[in-house]
């Protein structure tokens, strides 16, 4: 692991930086820019904090995340009990969770047809990247827990790691308060219930957060390795590869940090490309992954044509709550991306956010799930966290109380009413 070579050193995750960093080409990554004075967030003196929080500030963020997600789970449990539904099955035995558990138990298919007798579909399980099912299998092998329970253990632990990483990014950009608010906002997103399901959102978000944090501190080798691992978790890791690659290119052009940006640029796509190569070998054709997606799963990148077609229908015809919610979240994402650009936040954050939004709207079909697809783009919440950090504590409490109820209610809707993938 390489140490950052920047003139400004945020040497610990809990160090306060009083303003968001900028895209100014004359400043090294991580240094305050023109918006520093306006976005300064004053904090209470350290001596007012309990000793434990002063020594381990990230623990407060992790505890906050756990508390907020527990609130959402309690709401779901109460309504599941009233509906006579099995609470745990709602978390580990729906849609993608079924596929991941099957892969952890039986491995990958050898062709374009799923031959597992217990499978509910004949579609191949090859589109599901190997990191999450591999970790599920590992946990199930070394613990007495069943594979579905192991899936939840991995997902929940990854959620805690994601909260820690998100806090680190927020504290680096603004302050401890900004970091806490950023974690809190991510924990009460409308689709936050998925963070407690057997899905890959938490593990991917954790890898994204720590990769971006490493980039902000110019720890190039660390960023490259983390991005490599992220490439084994989801195909949308290409957005993170773009962020690492472009940041490395800028450093290379400026002749900064020696060989380390080169290493990051080389390492970052290897996980993603490695899995695609393995699929190609398994199916006997170089374009095996994309051929499989097109011919069996009917999922591909159409540049947003499918999304635009559905959006026109949303604006002219009645539709479901899930579709309305995804429309609202995509519209909000456009506004937040504009704020990230106008406020000149660091290049890796902007590139990742823009790329993630484009790949979300550019993927055909599954319009109702695009709100969930945007969940790993926690960077979009940074302008909200920065603004909320200036508010009174009573305002913050009111906002989060409202968001907890909305998130818990919508998570219950997705689990008990909505019959498709969340």
Which pLDDT score is estimated for 388? 97
Instruction: Name which of 345, 354, 333 is nearest 242 in CA terms.
Output: 354
Which pLDDT score is estimated for 98? 93
Contact 49, 373 (CB under 8 A): no
Instruction: Name which of 131, 134, 149 is nearest 198 in CA terms.
Output: 149
Bin 218: left if φ > 0, else alpha if -120 < ψ < 50, else beta: left
CA distance linking residue 292 with residue 109, whole number of Å = 12
CA distance linking residue 109 with residue 234, whole number of Å = 18
64, 87, 173, 241 from 385: Cα distances, Å? 15, 32, 11, 25
**Residue owning tokens 């959006």:** 311
CA distance linking residue 350 with residue 68, whole number of Å = 27
Sequence-ordered list of residues with C-beta below 8 angstroms from that of 270, at least 6 positions apart, any chain: 228, 231
Contact 218, 358 (CB under 8 A): no
Sequence-ordered list of residues with C-beta below 8 angstroms from that of 42, at least 6 positions apart, any chain: none
Residue 271 phi/psi, 5-degree rounding, is -65, -50
From first CA to last CA, the distance across the chain in angstroms is 38
Question: Is 141 buried (19+), middle (13-18) or exposed (0-12) by CB count in 10 A?
Answer: exposed
CA distance linking residue 127 with residue 148, whole number of Å = 20
Question: Is 193 buried (19+), middle (13-18) or exposed (0-12) by CB count in 10 A?
Answer: buried
CA distance linking residue 367 with residue 67, whole number of Å = 30
DSSP assigned state of 32:
B
Q: pLDDT 10s per residue in the chain (422 long)?
A: 433 333 333 333 333 333 333 333 334 344 444 343 344 444 544 445 666 666 778 999 999 999 999 999 999 999 999 999 999 999 999 899 999 999 999 999 988 887 776 666 789 999 999 999 999 999 999 999 999 999 999 999 999 999 999 999 999 999 999 999 999 999 999 999 999 999 999 999 999 999 999 999 999 999 999 999 999 999 999 999 999 999 999 999 999 999 999 999 999 999 999 999 999 999 999 999 999 998 899 888 889 999 999 999 999 999 999 999 999 999 999 999 999 999 999 999 999 999 999 999 999 989 999 999 999 999 999 999 999 999 999 999 999 999 999 999 999 999 999 999 99
Instruction: Name which of 418, 343, 348, 406 is nearest 377 in CA terms.
Output: 348
DSSP assigned state of 301:
B
Helix axes 201-216, 347-362, angle to 10 degrees: 150
User: 10 Å Cβ neighbour count for 42?
Assistant: 9
Sequence-ordered list of residues with C-beta below 8 angstroms from that of 107, at least 6 positions apart, any chain: none
CA distance linking residue 220 with residue 265, whole number of Å = 9
DSSP assigned state of 127:
T
Which pLDDT score is estimated for 7? 33
**Per-domain residue ranges of the chain:** 56-417
């Amino acid at each position: 692991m390489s140490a950052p070579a920047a003139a400004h050193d945020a040497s610990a995750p809990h160090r306060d930086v009083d303003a968001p960093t900028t895209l100014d080409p004359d400043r090294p990554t991580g240094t305050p820019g023109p918006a520093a004075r306006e976005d300064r967030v004053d904090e209470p003196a350290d001596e007012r904090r309990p000793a434990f929080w002063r020594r381990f500030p990230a623990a407060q963020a992790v505890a906050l995340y756990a508390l907020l997600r527990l609130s959402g789970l309690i709401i779901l449990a109460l309504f599941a009990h009233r509906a006579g539904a099995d609470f745990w099955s709602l978390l580990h035995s729906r849609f993608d969770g079924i596929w991941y558990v099957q892969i952890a138990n039986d491995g990958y298919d050898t062709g374009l047809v799923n031959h597992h007798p217990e499978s509910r579909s004949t579609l191949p399980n090859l589109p599901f990247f190997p990191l999450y099912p591999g970790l599920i299998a590992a946990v199930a092998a070394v613990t007495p827990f069943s594979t579905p329970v192991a899936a939840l253990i991995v997902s929940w632990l990854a959620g805690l790691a994601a909260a820690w990483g998100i806090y680190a990014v927020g504290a680096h950009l603004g302050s401890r308060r900004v970091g806490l608010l950023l974690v809190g906002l991510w924990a009460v997103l409308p689709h936050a219930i998925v963070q407690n399901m057997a899905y890959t959102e938490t593990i991917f978000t954790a890898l994204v957060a720590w990769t971006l944090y490493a980039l902000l501190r110019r720890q190039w080798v660390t960023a490259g390795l983390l991005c490599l691992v992220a490439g084994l978790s989801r195909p949308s890791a290409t957005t993170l590869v773009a962020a690492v690659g472009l940041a490395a290119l800028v450093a290379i052009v400026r002749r900064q940090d020696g060989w380390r940006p080169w290493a990051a640029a080389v390492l970052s796509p290897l996980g993603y490309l490695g899995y695609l190569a393995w699929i190609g070998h398994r199916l006997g054709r170089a374009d095996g992954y994309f051929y499989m997606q097109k011919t069996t799963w009917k999922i591909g990148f159409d540049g947003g044509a499918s999304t635009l077609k559905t959006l026109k229908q949303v604006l002219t015809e009645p539709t479901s709550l899930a579709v309305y919610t995804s429309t609202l979240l995509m519209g909000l994402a456009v506004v937040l991306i504009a704020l990230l650009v106008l406020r000149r936040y660091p290049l890796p954050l902007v590139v990742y956010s823009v790329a993630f939004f484009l790949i979300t709207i550019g993927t055909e079909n599954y319009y109702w799930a695009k709100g969930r697809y945007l969940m790993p783009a926690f960077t979009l919440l940074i302008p909200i966290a920065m603004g909320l950090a200036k508010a009174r504590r009573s305002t913050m409490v009111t906002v989060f109380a409202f968001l907890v109820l909305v998130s818990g209610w919508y998570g219950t809707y997705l689990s008990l009413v909505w019959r498709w993938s969340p």
